[in-house]
Each structure stands twice: as C-alpha cells, then as structure tokens.
C-alpha cells in the first residue's frame, strides 16, 4: 500500500501527471469537504468550541492537518476561524503533513495564493491568504516541533484508511513444526521457544503473482470487476509464519481472543497506532515527557466499523468504481477500513493526559454540530434554484445513513485532554461552554 500510494516514482498520490486529479467528480473519488463547504466549516467550529472549552488560550495554538488532499478542508477551516478573532489571533502556525509534491503545490495555491514559498529545515513554508499565519509543510508529523506549551488542534480526514495494513488468518495447528522463517534478509532459524507452537497459529496474507493461466473465475473476482483485465497479483495465505504474524496479532487481547478459532481474520495497521500515539502525546504529554497542562484536540473522520476488527476490507477505487486493489499499481486508490478501537487503545496507552470520545456516526456528529441549521442559512441567501438544490442534496448526503450516503459508514472520533469524565466534546454528546 505504501509503495503504490506514496512511492517517489509512480505513486498514486506522489506522481504528477498533466490533467490528472485523484479527487472530485472527474477523479477517482470525492470526499466530504469537496461535497459541501459546510463540512469544513463545522470542523472549524469544532476547533473553536474546543478552544473555548479549554480556557480560550491567547497564544500557542497550532492547526495541524494530516493528509490535506487539495487543501479544501483547511481552507474552509481557516475561513471559518477568522470570524472568531480571539482564536484566530492566537494561532501561531498551520502545519500540513503531506508526502506529495503535486498535492503540496495545489494546497499552496489554494491556501496562500501568490505568496512566495520557501524551503525550511522540515519542509516548506508560505503565508495564509487570510492572515499572516505561516503555513508549513512537512512529510511526517514527527518533524513538527513538539513543545509542551503549544496546543495542537489536529484533523485527520480520510487519512487513516490509506495507511498500510497487515492481514492475518488463524489456521489450525500443523503436525510438522516450523524451524526456519523467511524474511527480507533471507531465511533464518527460529528461536527454540517458537518452533513448536501449540494450538492455532496466525498466518499472514501476502501479495503474490497470479498464475499465468489465471482467470477471473479461478481468482473468484467479484462480478463488478470481471470486465477489467485479470490482476497480475493476488492475496495468498503464507504457508509458514512471518515475522509480522509472530508479533502483531499478539499485541492486543482483541486479536489474541480470536486466535483460538481457526479461520478468524484480522487486519492490523501499526502506522495507525503510531499516529494515534503521536496525537495523544502532543495533546496530553507522556510518562516520559509529561505536559503540565494538557491542551489541544484531535478529530479523526474516516470509515470503518464502530467496535469490531476490520476484515477483508482492502479495496481499490478508480473513476468512482470498485476495482481490485492489486490492479494497475499507482493508478488505483487503495484503502482499508479503520480500526477505531485500536486507535483509541493506542492513544490512551500513549498518554495519561487524554481521553477518547467516539466513534460516533458522521451523521450524528454533523447533526450535533448544526449542519442542518448552517445549510438552511446558506440556502436562505440563494436565489438560484439549482444552486439551492445542490446545497440541499450535498449536506443531506453527508448525514444520510442509506447505501449511497456517508452518515453511517463514516465515523468521527475525538482525542481531547483528560477531564475525569466531567466534559464531553460538542458533537459527541457535549455542549459549547
């Protein structure tokens, strides 16, 4: 997934091709900020509400977006926050974590206009077209300076679904014991304690070439994809243990509980855990680097089950249609369902100074944030019937729980400073204070 999406050469997000756009109706998929400006406005309002609830700090506020796409969401957030002057004046910097030079250029054009861009020690920097706030690009959140006096307000919208996963299946115990293991550096002998495992074992799903005579029928390709060429690659179950299968499924009791049932499937995303831990430490500090006064907040919006471990969720999207995630590498968007409970566990384990709320359905979150009222206000000022119809259809699609809607399958989760259960964030059962 990482190679196909972000490789320097030919990566889906990182390659620059004339006339190609991954987002929008002419691209491969459309995201909530592209559907309606109200979505980004409400994320901006959520940041303002959290800033207010945390004492209205007059300095040290940072806005951070992970995977900013074309910059539409951050543009709507900044446009909204500038109406709340006390918070707007407290923002010291906007950080955009972006691996794609092509998308970085698009973000700069939208957010900064003609303002010059200069290279910095961690990436690039320009100035917001709305204010004199510096907008700073970097390729990894770890490059953003971490300061206990800062209050980071972080948004990750449809970011976690693009992080690499490992897929595992529990298999019945084998009669023969495995004495060696194949790794990228060669075949190695296993330690004595791991050669004879009792009971079911985890096996990793690995990518392998399809046989030369493979057909859609032999690969069990879904009917919706059988009009496409036979994929060059397929997922197969490893015949023996891999380094990841011996370690990753053992890190959580949620995974270990399924091991004893042969046929159980799980998907694990270590990078998702790492990002959640980073969010939590920046907001609440850690045991190693305590934060005297936890502050800031993170909101994660993505798709996945609310309380179960994702299975068989690896998917490919091209021109708004499902395709094999293993077809046309670099030309297909690849994603997988987000394990929200794993993200929550990672955040809580990384920092004693945070608490997690959600996940809640996106529709529930947006209705709690006032999407209906904001959309009705927008439509009141419109005389164009078609435009009014478009705005009405857009906000309803964001909350619709039906098959073509985004209100149920998409979820929202918040990481905020620990309050001993005294406060719930707005949109998650709380009110504006």
Going by C-beta distance under 8 Å and a sequence separation of 6 or more, which residues neighbour residue 8?
Answer: 14
Report phi then psi at 110, rounded to 5: -75, -45
What pLDDT is recorded for position 151? 97
What pLDDT is recorded for position 292? 92
What pLDDT is recorded for position 23? 58
Give me the residues of the chain with pLDDT under 70, please.
16-29, 175-185, 190-197, 432-433
pLDDT digits (tens, 9 = 90+) for 104-146: 999 999 999 999 999 999 999 999 998 889 999 999 999 999 9
The DSSP result for 36-97, as a single string, is -HHHHHHHHHHHHHHHHHTT--SS-EEEEEES-TTSHHHHHHHHHHTTSHHHHTTEEEEEEE
pLDDT digits (tens, 9 = 90+) for 281-324: 999 999 999 999 999 999 999 999 999 999 999 998 887 777 88
pTM as predicted: 0.89
Structure tokens at 424: 């719930």
Nearest to 45, CA basis, from 368, 279, 406, 283: 368
Question: How would you label 328-358 residue by residue, b for 16+ Cβ within 10 Å and e otherwise?
Answer: bbbbbbbbbbbbbbbbbbbbbebbebbbbbb
What pLDDT is recorded for position 322? 79
What pLDDT is recorded for position 332? 86
Report phi then psi at 56, rounded to 5: 55, 60
Q: Assign residue 43 a region: left if phi > 0, alpha if psi is -120 to 50, beta otherwise?
A: alpha
Long-range CB contact pairs, 402-408, < 8 A, 24+: 405/363, 406/32, 406/35, 406/362, 406/363, 407/361, 407/362, 407/363, 407/364, 407/366, 408/361, 408/362, 408/363
What pLDDT is recorded for position 403? 76
**C-alpha dihedral over 4, 9, 15, 17, to 10 degrees?**
-120
What pLDDT is recorded for position 390? 87
Helices (H), 222-335: 243-247, 253-259, 270-284
The DSSP result for 156-213, as a single string, is EES-GGGS--EEEEEEPPPSSPP-EEEETTEEEEPPHHHHS--S-EEEEEEEEEPPTT
Structure tokens at 128: 């917001």
Beta-bridge partner residues of 265 = 169
Asked if residue 359 has a cis previous peptide bond (ω within 30° of 0), the answer is yes
d(Cα 301, Cα 59) in Å, to the nearest integer?
A: 27
**C-alpha dihedral over 322, 324, 310, 7, to 10 degrees?**
-110
Q: Assign residue 127 a region: left if phi > 0, alpha if psi is -120 to 50, beta otherwise?
A: beta
Instruction: Count CA within 13 A, CB hemisphere, residue 213.
Output: 0
**C-alpha dihedral over 55, 61, 67, 69, to 10 degrees?**
100
> CA–CA distance from 6 to each of 16, 239, 366 (Å)?
12, 29, 31
What pLDDT is recorded for position 16? 66
Q: Are 65 and 29 in contact (CB under 8 A)?
A: no
Residue corresponding to tokens 């608490």: 355
């Amino acid at each position: 997934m990482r190679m196909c999406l972000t490789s320097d050469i030919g990566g889906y997000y990182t390659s620059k091709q004339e006339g190609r756009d991954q987002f929008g109706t002419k691209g491969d998929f459309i995201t909530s900020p592209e559907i309606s400006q109200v979505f980004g406005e409400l994320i901006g309002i959520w940041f303002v509400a959290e800033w207010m609830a945390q004492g209205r700090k007059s300095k040290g506020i940072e806005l951070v977006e992970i995977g900013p796409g074309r910059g539409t969401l951050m543009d709507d957030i900044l446009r909204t926050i500038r109406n709340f002057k006390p918070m707007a004046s407290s923002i010291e910097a906007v950080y955009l974590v972006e691996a794609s030079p092509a998308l970085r250029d698009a973000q700069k054009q939208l957010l900064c206009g003609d303002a010059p861009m200069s290279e910095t020690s961690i990436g690039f920097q320009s100035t917001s077209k709305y204010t004199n706030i510096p907008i700073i690009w970097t390729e990894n959140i770890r490059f953003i300076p971490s300061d206990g006096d800062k209050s980071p307000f972080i948004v990750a919208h449809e970011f976690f679904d693009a992080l690499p996963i490992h897929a595992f299946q529990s298999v019945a115990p084998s009669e023969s014991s495995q004495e060696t293991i194949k790794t990228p550096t060669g075949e190695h002998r296993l330690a004595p304690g791991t050669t004879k495992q009792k009971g079911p074992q985890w096996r990793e799903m690995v990518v392998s070439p399809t046989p030369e005579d493979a057909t859609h029928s032999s690969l069990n390709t879904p009917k919706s994809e059988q009009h496409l060429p036979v994929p060059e690659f397929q997922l197969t179950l490893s015949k023996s243990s891999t380094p990841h299968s011996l370690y990753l499924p053992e890190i959580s009791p949620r995974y270990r509980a399924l091991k004893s049932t042969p046929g159980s499937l799980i998907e694990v995303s270590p990078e998702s855990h790492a990002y959640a831990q980073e969010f939590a430490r920046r907001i609440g500090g850690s045991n190693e680097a305590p934060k005297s006064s936890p502050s800031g907040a993170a909101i994660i919006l993505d798709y996945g089950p609310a309380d179960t471990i994702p299975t068989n969720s690896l998917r490919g999207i091209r021109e708004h249609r499902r395709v094999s995630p293993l077809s046309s590498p670099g030309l297909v968007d690849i994603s997988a369902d987000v394990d929200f409970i794993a993200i929550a566990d990672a955040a809580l384990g990384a920092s004693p100074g945070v608490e997690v709320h959600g996940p809640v359905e996106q529709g529930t979150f947006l209705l709690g944030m006032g999407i209906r009222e904001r959309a009705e206000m927008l439509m009141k000022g419109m005389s164009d019937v078609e435009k009014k119809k478009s705005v009405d259809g857009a906000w309803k699609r964001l909350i619709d729980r039906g098959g073509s809607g985004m209100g149920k399958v998409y979820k929202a989760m918040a990481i905020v400073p620990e309050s001993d259960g005294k406060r719930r964030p707005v949109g998650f059962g709380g009110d504006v204070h």
